[in-house]
């Protein structure tokens, strides 16, 4: 009996679920899972996860006290919510979960390090080994420097919102565990900028991840590549063989429902044959390459702004929910 595309993909690539929806994870049983502020905000609004939200809010109120402002309680709760979802996710997946640092700290190395340490401490207090956690940090120069500090402390990092080779090389030089180049968002930018459509190997997002993967394997970096943000299964098929791919439940279902051959496209052996030159990267070179890469510069800032907006929305939703809970409690007295 022929295998579907998802079964074949699992043979050459670690499949990760890109969702905050635990029901979807239970269905597809990925090795790892990733979340981000947008996914957590969406999951927090699903009725089936309301008990998790309510529990986090009550704990935050208890910790800060009755006199604390609702906004302060909501802010603490939003930080804890991603961890609460992460703990639930780790009951389902056998591997790791990525938990993101506040996007508003993307250009602050010290604050990013401090929050990452708090996240790890929260997981540790819940009995979760730090080996099962990846701290997600935006791929700014400051974020990469924070990840370098954390990796030396044994805290593993996932550098996200990654669009350019300069970001990838800087992360690898910093000894980061994993990077998440955003395939679909790169495609979105080029389609809008040129008015052209791109398919298969011509997809700029596919080409970007292929170039990064080949660079890492050719020059022996330990940092692994996890393609992310897919728009269609064609992009996924073109990256078969990548170390990891994080895929939405919708596209996982489509892969599972599709029969056909799935040839391996990326491999360490093929990477060795690529005519690539090693880049010497310091901050000045990083800044110069970033300024010259209009797509990477625009998409990084857009991504940070988008995740920030999702966090603001989540804090507002949590403040509203807290008011509802406390109103009910008062009425019941």
Rounded Cα distance, 285 and 136, in Å: 24
Report DSSP state, residue 259.
B
Contact 182, 168 (CB under 8 A): no
Contact 245, 237 (CB under 8 A): no
- Following CA atoms 50, 56, 62, 68 in sequence, which dihedral angle do they give, to the nearest 10 degrees? -90
Report DSSP state, residue 103.
G
In the structure, how many helices (H) and strands (E) does the chain have? 15, 8
Report DSSP state, residue 227.
E
32-34 vs 14-18, strand pairing mode? parallel
Contacts of 96 (CB under 8 A, 6+ apart): 32, 33, 131, 132, 133, 134, 156
First to last CA, the chain: 64
* Residue 218 a catalytic site member: no
Q: Which of 27, 58, 136, 191 is catalytic?
A: 136
Rounded Cα distance, 292 and 295, in Å: 9
17 forms beta bridges with: 33, 247
| Catalytic (active-site) positions | 136
């Amino acid at each position: 009996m022929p295998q579907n595309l998802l079964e074949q993909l699992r043979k050459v690539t670690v499949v990760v679920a890109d969702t905050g929806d635990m029901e979807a994870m239970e269905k597809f049983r990925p090795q790892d899972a990733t979340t981000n502020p947008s996914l957590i905000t969406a999951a927090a609004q699903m009725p089936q996860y309301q008990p998790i939200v309510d529990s986090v809010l009550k704990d935050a109120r208890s910790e800060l006290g009755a006199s604390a402002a609702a906004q302060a309680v909501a802010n603490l709760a939003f930080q804890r919510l991603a961890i609460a979802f992460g703990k639930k996710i780790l009951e389902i997946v056998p591997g790791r979960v990525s938990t993101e640092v506040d996007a508003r700290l993307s250009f602050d190395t010290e604050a990013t390090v401090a929050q990452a340490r708090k996240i790890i401490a929260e997981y540790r207090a819940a009995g979760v080994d730090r080996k099962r956690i990846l701290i997600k940090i935006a791929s700014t120069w400051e974020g990469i420097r924070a990840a370098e500090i954390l990796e030396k402390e044994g805290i593993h990092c996932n550098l996200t919102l990654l669009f350019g080779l300069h970001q990838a090389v800087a992360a690898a030089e910093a000894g980061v565990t994993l990077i998440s180049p955003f395939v679909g968002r790169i495609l979105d930018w080029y389609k809008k900028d040129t008015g052209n459509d791109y398919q298969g190997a011509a997809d700029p997002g596919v080409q970007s991840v292929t170039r990064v993967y080949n660079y890492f394997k050719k020059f022996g970096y330990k940092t692994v590549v996890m393609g992310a943000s897919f728009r269609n299964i064609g992009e996924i098929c073109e990256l078969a063989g990548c170390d990891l791919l994080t895929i939405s439940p919708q596209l996982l279902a489509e892969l599972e429902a599709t029969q056909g051959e799935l040839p391996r496209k990326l491999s360490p052996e093929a990477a060795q044959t690529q005519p690539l030159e090693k880049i010497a990267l310091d901050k000045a070179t990083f800044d110069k390459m970033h300024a010259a890469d209009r797509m990477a510069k625009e998409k990084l800032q857009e991504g940070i702004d988008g995740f920030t907006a999702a966090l603001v929305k989540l804090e507002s939703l949590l403040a509203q929910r807290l008011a509802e809970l406390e109103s009910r409690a008062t009425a019941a007295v």
